[in-house]
Structure 1
Amino acid sequence: MIPLTPPSSATDAAPGLHQQVRALLPALRARAPQAKSLRRLPDQTIADLKACGFFRALLPRQFGGMELPPAEFFRLQVMLGEACMSTAWAGGIIAVHPFQIALMDRRAQDDVFGSDPDTLVSSAYAPVGRVSAVEGGFRLSGRWAWSSGSDHCSWALLGAIVPGDGYRTFLVPRSDYRVEDTWHSMGLQGTGSNDIVVQDAFVPHHRTHRQSDGFRLTNPGVTPDSHPMYRIPWGQLFVRTVSCAAIGAAKAALELHIAGVKGPSSNDPTKLAADVDTQRRIAEAAHCLDEIEVVMYRNLGHLMDRAAAGEDVSMLDRIKFRYQASVVIEKCLSVVDSLFSVAGGRSVYSGSEIQQRFLDLHVARAHIANHPVPFARNFGSALLGGENQDFFL
């Protein structure tokens, strides 16, 4: 077992970063229509998130990072989602990548962050790339969709299966790929989740990350001096970046609905605050969101506690936590769909804030990581004594 280095005092940065992010929320909410129109995050939003240190939350300290506990990082993402789900989605995905790069060979970390700790990295993990092994590395080609925030990034993490060796993530500089403007969506318009196209690029071995290393915690970048959080399985972190933004969006939808109910009444009695069905929907929505966060932060706390103690997380817990992350969108959808269905006639017009949350959440549900069926199957099978079938957890 690798000797553990105690967590650094960098966690003291959490309260200050929380305050700075919260101070940004009014501007991010006001900027949401601009993000929708641009179909990417505005440059000022990226600049604001850089300035407050959000993109350094999970970056190793040796590069100027904060090494925040993952639970604190996801609290920030939920907070951003309350203002603008596109900002929380794209910003959160970009900000989680320093964690994965910290697991890679130190040379890869130096390549990306050695000269600029604010270097931004996008991703597209679907194993659609064509790859062949060559001396010193690999040749990579392909087209990857849904690379959120890619317009603002100078590197990309791309998925492919190496024949005879399995799944790897390939770290590719902007000079070796192009971003194609394909993101015309009904929701999450501001995420700029465009396509990445690579044509026969050389990727050295040290700029790759094997899925088996992430699963077995044999990551080459993790040393006795690494913060304990880098011993948390990578899959447990990434999957939450494509669901946590929804929690914030659903919270915002509930606040909008409550404000509408408490406002001037219309001739629709079901919109009045004294209406029993209105009260029920609001109570159920508030409870559901509470439940989601309690489970998520409990799971993240357990992962951090085990990592800090140098102990393994049981496979059953890893499978359970993965399933519980996959149902977050479904639960948030149940909240927003229930509220939107009684939000009134004005909610259907363009510019409706509650409608935007409704559309954002339905687009988020299309992400494969938010499809709970295979993860439910794996969890149920494990409870019955079956073998694990998922290696990204």
Structure 2
Amino acid sequence: MTIPPTQHPLIEKVRNLLPLIEQTSSEAERLGHLPDRVLNALFELRLFRLFIPEEYNGEPTDLPTALRIFELIASADGATGWLVMIGAGGGLFSGFIEEWAAREIFAPERAVIAGSGSPSGLAITKENGFEASGRWAYASGAYHATWFTANCKIDGNDEQIISIAVPAEQVEIHDTWHVFGMQATGSHDFSVEPVLVPENFTFSLADKPLLKDPIFHCPLETLASLTFASVAVGIAQHALDEFQRFIESKPLAGDIDIQQRIEQANALISHGRWQLYQLAEAVWSEAERSKAPRETLRRQVDNDCREIVHNSVTAADLLKARAGMLAAFTDSAFGRAWRDLHTLSQHIIVSPASA
């Protein structure tokens, strides 16, 4: 496996965690969420805190390094990679929420955000905040989230959207995540009955960030495209690694068609990885100068990340065609990677239909 080199001390610690993630991936899939011993290990490495600033007890990490971490974890298990990526991504909101509220949400060591970007809630204006209610879909990590964020229409106005943050105890989780891939992400629906959300616990990513850390100059859509693509590359690498192990145990190692498929898959994954980190470096260079990426770069990120995800799926499909029943068994690591990758590719951010 070829993950771009980095001197960040977290990388080697993450590598040491991969065997546990691989060993528990079948269990996580059956449970529909990560086993507690995996969660505890992730919390111990502070991997959900990569985009939270130091003043809120964070573990601030540059974007390219964070992508390498997400990719590396996904190369052991796609759902775990997705959950670390989503959980860490929620740290972006810490730069847009007033300080005392941000400290309450993000400072606890085991703080994790889950939520939804769909504006399917209602926020009725009150004297000191909003009365919020609604139901939202696809809250990855709902099992272990401590706070939920969601978008609401202010007083029912489609043109006015506010993001709210509510503690997990005010949220009802609905068992809706019945899918053939990414099962361990537990991306269930959640709802909130009418509850008063103080104004300090609302925010808008359209506003100027309140903190100066570079990550807060990276638009959510751009960050999502890059991070989703990093997980896709990691899962595709996992599929390739598992396929190669499978072939080595069979009298097929000299099969020309199989070798060509391996070479094609490896080329697609390697090129996608190169694209990803070129884009990440360009975006981070702008962010370090307290600038959002220019519009042309944002469009390039959107388009190229869709391509990276598509090519990752293509790479896995090339291998699946010669994987036989390896792709069919539910306890097959290759089959799980293939299913997870196809499920990831349906997300609106990276789906071709969203272009």
TM-score using structure 1 length:
0.83
SS for the counterpart of 2:317 is helix
- Percent of residue pairs bearing the same amino acid type: 25
For 1:259, the equivalent position in structure 2 comes to 245
Once residues 62 and 148 of structure 1 are traced to their aligned partners in structure 2, the CA distance between those partners, rounded to angstroms, is: 26
Question: Does the 8 Å contact 2:48/2:87 carry over to 1?
Answer: yes
Question: Does the 8 Å contact 2:93/2:205 carry over to 1?
Answer: no
Once residues 104 and 77 of structure 1 are traced to their aligned partners in structure 2, the CA distance between those partners, rounded to angstroms, is: 25
**Would you say 1:304 and 2:279 are equivalent positions?**
no
Which structure: larger Rg?
1
Amino acid at match of 1:353: A
Question: Does the 8 Å contact 1:56/1:118 carry over to 2?
Answer: no
For 1:59, the equivalent position in structure 2 comes to 52
Q: 1:83 to 1:237 in 2, by over 3 A?
A: same
Deviations 1:34-69 (CA, angstroms, capped at 9, x unpaired): 101111111111110010121222210112222110
Once residues 25 and 325 of structure 2 are traced to their aligned partners in structure 1, the CA distance between those partners, rounded to angstroms, is: 22
Question: Does the 8 Å contact 1:156/1:171 carry over to 2?
Answer: yes
SS for the counterpart of 1:298 is helix
Q: Which runs of 5+ in 2 are unaligned?
A: 1-5
Amino acid at match of 2:69: L
Amino acid at match of 1:18: I
Question: Does the 8 Å contact 1:39/1:184 carry over to 2?
Answer: no
Once residues 326 and 103 of structure 2 are traced to their aligned partners in structure 1, the CA distance between those partners, rounded to angstroms, is: 52
For 2:142, the equivalent position in structure 1 comes to 150
Once residues 96 and 198 of structure 2 are traced to their aligned partners in structure 1, the CA distance between those partners, rounded to angstroms, is: 16
**Would you say 1:235 and 2:228 are equivalent positions?**
no
SS for the counterpart of 2:206 is helix
Q: Which runs of 5+ in 1 are unaligned?
A: 1-12, 266-271, 376-393
Q: Root-mean-square deviation (CA), in Å?
A: 1.9
The alpha-carbon deviation at position 227 of structure 1 amounts to: 2.2
Question: Does the 8 Å contact 1:97/1:122 carry over to 2?
Answer: yes
For 2:118, the equivalent position in structure 1 comes to 126
- Of residues 127, 140, 146, the one that matches 1:135 is 127
Question: Does the 8 Å contact 1:178/1:198 carry over to 2?
Answer: yes
TM-score using structure 2 length:
0.92
Question: Does the 8 Å contact 1:250/1:336 carry over to 2?
Answer: yes
Compare 254-263 and 157-166 and name the one that shifted more: 157-166
For 1:182, the equivalent position in structure 2 comes to 176
For 1:112, the equivalent position in structure 2 comes to 105
The alpha-carbon deviation at position 277 of structure 1 amounts to: 1.9
For 1:336, the equivalent position in structure 2 comes to 316
The alpha-carbon deviation at position 77 of structure 1 amounts to: 0.6
Amino acid at match of 1:341: A
Superposed counterparts of 1:348-387, under 5 Å:
348-375=328-355
Q: 1:241 to 1:167 in 2, by over 3 A?
A: farther
The alpha-carbon deviation at position 205 of structure 1 amounts to: 2.2
- Of residues 72, 75, 86, the one that matches 1:82 is 75
- Of residues 229, 252, 263, the one that matches 1:283 is 263
Once residues 96 and 219 of structure 2 are traced to their aligned partners in structure 1, the CA distance between those partners, rounded to angstroms, is: 10
Once residues 251 and 181 of structure 1 are traced to their aligned partners in structure 2, the CA distance between those partners, rounded to angstroms, is: 31
